[in-house]
Amino acid sequence: MTTKLGKYHAMQLDGPGRSLQLVERDMPVPDSDEMLIKILACGVCRTDLHIVDGEIPEAVYPVVPGHEIVGRIIQIGENVQGFAVGDRVGVPWLGSSCGHCRYCLTDHENLCDEPEFTGCTRDGGYASHVVASAQYCFAIPDRFSHVEAAPLLCAGLIGWRSLRMADQAKVIGFYGFGAAAHILAQIAVWQGRQIYAFTKPGDLSGQKFARKLGCTWAGGSDELPPVELDAAIIFAPIGPLVPAALRAVHKGGRVICAGIHMSDIPSFPYADLWGERAIMSVANLTREDGTEFLAAADSSGITPVVERFPLTDANEVLEKLRDGHLKGAAVLVPDYRIVRSRSN
């Protein structure tokens, strides 16, 4: 059925550089291959900050940001299979793909020529409700609370894809130790890898946090690690970290850029790249990434470290993220009293 269900509320971004505004909208109606989801929690990702700042060219405004969504299905389209009303699901960054380009036809839908992105080109999770393509929703393992599960949907997923690109590397550096790195570090340690964490110079609290999660070593991003790295994953969107990471990996090592946006990479001597070192980027996710990662997250026993905030504090939380005043991941939770009061 596709019956209208009244109103919902959202934190809407009308354009780059603006503050999000609480708005009321008519409840969206899912298409035949979509589901209407009541949001239980939505993680705050640095990509949301890039959208607020106008740094993602694909973004369409006005938009409701947010792509680390956990919620319950309250309505499904007639062609949806594998889900039922009442199921708890997660909604990630990649919202849909065309299904017919060269990438989709070879199971590389993360590189689709005509994608949609949740919270960027279609409305996302800074809201009480959202419509999502069933094809890109995932069942959430029962052991995670709604708030714990939210950062798994991007910080975890993109971290997982980055780790896969590191292949069999055993000694890995993480540049930037925020939402993604703190989840991935736990997974990597569970896999028997050694993680060397690089934080902002002088961030002793962040370095202590990294060691607490099992990292072998933690120091500033202006330091060289005590050993050569097999690979480095750069989570911080800071271009100058790329040459720094190249100098930290051994010959044949990989430097993997995990962010969707990064400041310009400065020039560096060819000698830093020579020796079959490689620079790679991670783009979006595949459905296989989602199912594999959530299974690994469940089996590994990881615990995401989260700070919970009301949805209406979204602007303040984004600034906390910008200033580096968050440990782990921030998660927004809707207040359904707003929905009821505005509906009366």
DSSP for 106-137 reads GT-GGG-SS-EEBTTTB--SSBSEEEEEGGG-
| pLDDT per residue as tens digits for the range 106-149 | 999 999 999 999 999 999 999 999 999 999 999 999 999 999 99
Give the CA distances from residue 135 to residues 146, 288, 292, 295, in Å, rounded to whole numbers and listed in that order.
Answer: 21, 12, 15, 18
| pLDDT per residue as tens digits for the range 253-309 | 999 999 889 999 999 999 999 999 999 999 999 999 999 999 999 999 999 999 999
7-144+304-343 and 156-281 share one CATH topology?
no
The average pLDDT across 21-34 equals: 96
Q: How far apart are CA 249 and CA 237, in angstroms?
A: 19
**What's residue 249's pLDDT?**
98
Asked whether the beta carbons of 198 and 216 are under 8 A apart, the reply is: no
As beta bridge partners, residue 123 has none
pLDDT at 217 over 80: yes
DSSP state of 290: H
Please tell me the class of the 7-144+304-343 domain.
Answer: alpha beta
**What's residue 197's pLDDT?**
98
Kindly list the domain boundaries of the chain, sorted by start residue.
7-144+304-343, 156-281
Give the CA distances from residue 152 to residues 43, 74, 289, 306, in Å, rounded to whole numbers and listed in that order.
Answer: 9, 22, 12, 11
pLDDT band at 73 (very low <50, low <70, confident <90, very high): very high
Count CA atoms within 13 Å of residue 67 on its CB side. Answer: 30
Q: Which of 2-11, 132-141, 199-208, 260-269 has the lowest mean pLDDT?
A: 2-11
- The tokens describing 48, both together, are 């949301």
Alpha helices, DSSP H only, in 232-312? Answer: 241-248, 270-273, 287-300
Give the CA distances from residue 98 to residues 77, 92, 283, in Å, rounded to whole numbers and listed in that order.
Answer: 19, 16, 16
- The tokens describing 321, both together, are 């993220």
The CATH number for 156-281, chosen from 3.40.50.2300, 3.90.230.10, 3.40.50.720, 3.40.640.10, is: 3.40.50.720
- The tokens describing 176, both together, are 């930037």
pLDDT at 321 over 90: yes
